[in-house]
Amino acid sequence: MTVVALLTALAVPVPGTTSAADPAVTVTSPGGYAVTDGVPTPADLQAQRRKLDELRQTVQEQTDELSRATADLEAAALEAATALEAYTTAVRASQQAQAVEDRERRLLLEARLELAQNRRELGRWARQAYQGGAAYEEHPAVVTLLGARSTDEAATTLALLRGVGRAKGRAVNAVEAAERRQNVATTRAGSAASAAAAAQSAAAEAKQARDEAVARQREKVATLETALRSTTQEAAEAEAEERRLREAAELARRLRESGGPGGNAVTGEVGDCTGGDVALYLNGEIPLEALCPLAAAPGHRLRADAAFAFDKLAGEYARTFGRLPCVSDSYRDYPSQVSLRARKPGLAAVPGTSNHGWGTAVDLCGGIESFGTPQHEWLVVNGPMFGWYHPSWAQAGGSKPEPWHFEYGG
């Protein structure tokens, strides 16, 4: 991307292109504050960073709240599982109670059948008593079981039974026992049914309460997840905006320091390689395809005219010393200059100001890197004939002696 295109993308005005009709344009950034002339100020960056910090804090708080809600949901789910287990147990208990009730009802039916059988047996006794007579006044249960309608009728009936022997008393006792079993069976059946219904109802209510609690907690978790996604997206957008403003501010600074694009035009003779329009790029931002390779030093590149001139200088150097000059560095991109500056702050130039970033400087070796050597002295004397010179600041008495550093002047 050319510097002009990059400036446009970052909303930074290109020097010399300010609109005469509106020289100071104020725009509103996605962060919600005004940015004059498209160049963010320190206050702009601080405002965006504050917003980003606030959003990050909100993301953290929402994340923590979601974690707590998720833990609560897990606890509610465990309680629901316990309630389900209790409900299942209650259902089984209800089924067992129903089985007991069914069994008791069968007993009741058996007792009634036995009672009917004894009624028939008593009728047989009555016939026998009528024929023979017997004293059975002591058996009032017989009166009840035979369903006498009056005292006289009962007396007549008892008179008929007097003929029944004492051996038949066991049958009457059996009838009384059947009546007692009937009452017990009925009571048991009712109790079992009531207990089963109560247990199942309580378990169902408990299960429903736990299920509703889980549903409410799931809804809460879903709401928190939605809010967290929204805030996270907003934070990502704020971070992208903060990065854009920071890059725009850095680019504007570099533009001021380098004099802007257009200060690095090809001015000298070029060979077969013409390179690209390097004037469109900032210091250290020139793409390699816009530069030309050095025939005398494979792997190194310079601006088209500087490369052509250096190769001619290298040929003359080889005729004198029998070998090509040694090149240790040529074009240096901006990140490399930043790294070098960090490692050698007293030696490397400020990033964005070095001629290596323009593709018009080389660092040499093979004897040239030392003052007073034949190779160094020859290059100092003969280099200018090819447009290459040893700058005064790099000379032995200069502000920062660098015998290896030579620059192209066109």
Q: Which of 52, 50, 57, 23 is nearest to 38 (CA)?
A: 23
Residue 2 lies in a domain: no
Q: What is the pLDDT of residue 172?
A: 60
Backbone angles phi, psi at 332, to 5 degrees: -130, 120
pLDDT in tens, 72-97: 999 988 988 888 888 888 888 888 88
Q: What is the pLDDT of residue 16?
A: 40
What value does the mean pLDDT take over residues 351-362? 91
Residue 16 lies in a domain: no
User: Are residues 84 and 206 both part of a single domain?
Assistant: yes
359 within 8 A of 331, measured Cβ to Cβ:
yes
Residue 294's domain is classified under what CATH number?
Answer: 3.30.1380.10
pLDDT in tens, 208-253: 988 898 899 999 999 999 999 999 999 999 999 999 988 887 777 7
Residues 6+ apart with CB under 8 A from 161: 125, 126, 129, 134, 136, 139, 142
Q: Which of 166, 118, 117, 165 is nearest to 142 (CA)?
A: 118
3-class secondary structure, 189: helix
| Window from 158-172, 192-206, 280-294, 328-342 with minimum mean pLDDT | 158-172
Model confidence at 153, pLDDT cuts 50, 70, 90, reads: low
Beta pairing, strands 34-36 & 26-28: antiparallel
199 within 8 A of 94, measured Cβ to Cβ:
yes
User: Are residues 136 and 235 both part of a single domain?
Assistant: yes
Residue 93 lies in a domain: yes
User: Are residues 283 and 255 both part of a single domain?
Assistant: no
User: Are residues 352 and 384 both part of a single domain?
Assistant: yes
Residue 189 lies in a domain: yes
Q: Dmax over Cα atoms in the chain, in whole Å? A: 167
Count CA atoms closer than 13 A to 194's CA, side-chain side. Answer: 6
What value does the mean pLDDT take over residues 340-369? 91
Residue 10 lies in a domain: no
User: Are residues 383 and 303 both part of a single domain?
Assistant: yes
Last residue of a domain, one of 235, 261, 287: 261
* pTM of the entire predicted model: 0.46
What value does the mean pLDDT take over residues 54-62? 95
Q: What is the pLDDT of residue 36?
A: 42
Give the number of domains in the chain: 2
More confident residue, 384 or 13: 384
User: Are residues 290 and 248 both part of a single domain?
Assistant: no
pLDDT in tens, 300-339: 999 999 999 999 999 999 999 999 999 999 999 999 999 9
Q: Which domain holds residue 162?
A: 39-261
User: Are residues 323 and 200 both part of a single domain?
Assistant: no
Percent of the chain whose predicted confidence (pLDDT) is above 90: 44
User: Are residues 245 and 299 both part of a single domain?
Assistant: no
Last residue of a domain, one of 261, 292, 317: 261
34 within 8 A of 26, measured Cβ to Cβ:
yes
Residue 190 lies in a domain: yes
